[in-house]
Every structure is written in structure tokens, then in C-alpha cells.
A and B are shown apart, each in its own frame.
Chain A
Amino acid sequence: GQSLEQPSEVTAVEGAIVQINCTYQTSGFYGLSWYQQHDGGAPTFLSYNALDGLEETGRFSSFLSRSDSYGYLLLQELQMKDSASYFCAVPSGAGKSTFGDGTTLTVKP
């Protein structure tokens, strides 16, 4: 089966950098995805890492270490609008994905 662990809550201030970790256990691994979900909205795709290393997209970066079954989402220059829930996810076969329970990020002024 698949399981993912991520912190339930993270708080940071505007302008800061925050890292949201995700560890996973899978029977087969194809990649790690990250999604953002604002309160009342649907998840939006942020990034996908299939290989080890850091992928940067603007203020957001995602890192993967397959040997450690670990990844993280790095958010820089935090803005109030970044307050949301962030989910890591791994493919679980037949096109499905298994999602972590989500990390609620609160950005304070």
C-alpha cells in the first residue's frame, strides 16, 4: 500500500521561507506531486518530481530524495495568499494517486 506523512500545520510570517516535508512509503515509486488547496476551493497542481533533486518554479521549489523516500515543498518570500493547505501525493497505480493528509500553512503579517 501507499502512505504519506506530512505535518498537519505550519505557521510562518510574511516574507519568510517555509519548508513542508513529506515522507512516503510505497510499493512502487514513480514520482511525488504537490498540490495547493485554498479554503473552499479545489486542489491545484504545483509540481511533480520524478527524479532526485530540486525543481524550481518561481517562489516555489520541490525537492525529492528517492533513497530517503522523502521530499519537500519550499515556499520563499511568503505572501498572505500562500495561506492554504498543501498536499503531497504519489501515484498508486492505474493512474490513481494517494494523497497525504495535508499541511495547513498559515502566513501571518
Chain B
Amino acid sequence: GAVVSQHPSWVICKSGTSVKIECRSLDFQATTMFWYRQFPKQSLMLMATSNEGSKATYEQGVEKDKFLINHASLTLSTLTVTSAHPEDSSFYICSASGTGTSGSTDTQYFGPGTRLTVL
């Protein structure tokens, strides 16, 4: 149980375009979803927290107009990187927590990640 999928697993795009990444909880209800980015050999950096049906809460320094997050249902959240630039190239990982898992309601289950390369 507690499977989170993420799509696409990798994407290459041109500078200035927008990219949408989907995160789905497959077998539990994700009341909260999180979006992280991770640079090589570094820890996870939380970008934003989203609760189903409400606006996302962004961490300090993360541009909410650039990284659009939508959490429309208990199983789906999307991250759209708008007007992507090469410095946005990174590994983007979502995670979800909620009910119906073997861990606590705070335990986060991670998606497999999306590697974004902006040319």
C-alpha cells in the first residue's frame, strides 16, 4: 500500500515553455501533498505544501507564480513550472500523506520523481 506515482519520469523542454508534472496517490487518500526539488548530492528542499481543495502554501523563496500547484482531488496534485529556464533543471519529487496507510498520518510517501532538463 501507499503507492505514489508521478508523471512524467523525465522531461526535456526548451527555455520559456511550461511543464506540468502530475502526482497521484494510487491506493490511499492524500489529504496533503508536498513538492520538493533536489539538486545532485543535496537533500530534499521543500517547495510547497498543498491540501486538497485549498491553495498551496509555498516555502520562503519559492515563487508561487512560477511554480503553480493544484490539488484538485484527494488523489491528484499537479506542479506546473511556468516559463522554465535552465536554472529550473532539477529533480522534482512529490510526496503524499494521509489516511489508509501503514504509517502515521504524517508519514510521507514519495513518488518516483521527475527529472526536468531545460535547454
Contact = CB atoms under 8 A, between A and B. Distances in A.
A45 B42 CA distance: 18
B83 interface: no
A45 B110 contact: yes
Interface string A83-106: 000010101001111011110000
B25 interface: no
B104 A31 contact: yes
Contact of A94 (B42, B49, B95, B113): B49
A101 B42 CA distance: 7
B28 to A, nearest CB: 13
Contacts of B46: 96
Contacts of A33: 103, 107-108
Interface string A16-47: 00000000000000110101000001111100
Interface residues of A, number: 22
Given A41-B112, A42-B112, A97-B108, A87 B103 contact: no
A48 interface: yes
B49 A95 contact: yes
Contacts of A35: 110
A101 B43 contact: yes
B106 A95 contact: yes
Interface of A: 30-31, 33, 35, 41-45, 48, 50, 87, 89, 91, 94-97, 99-102
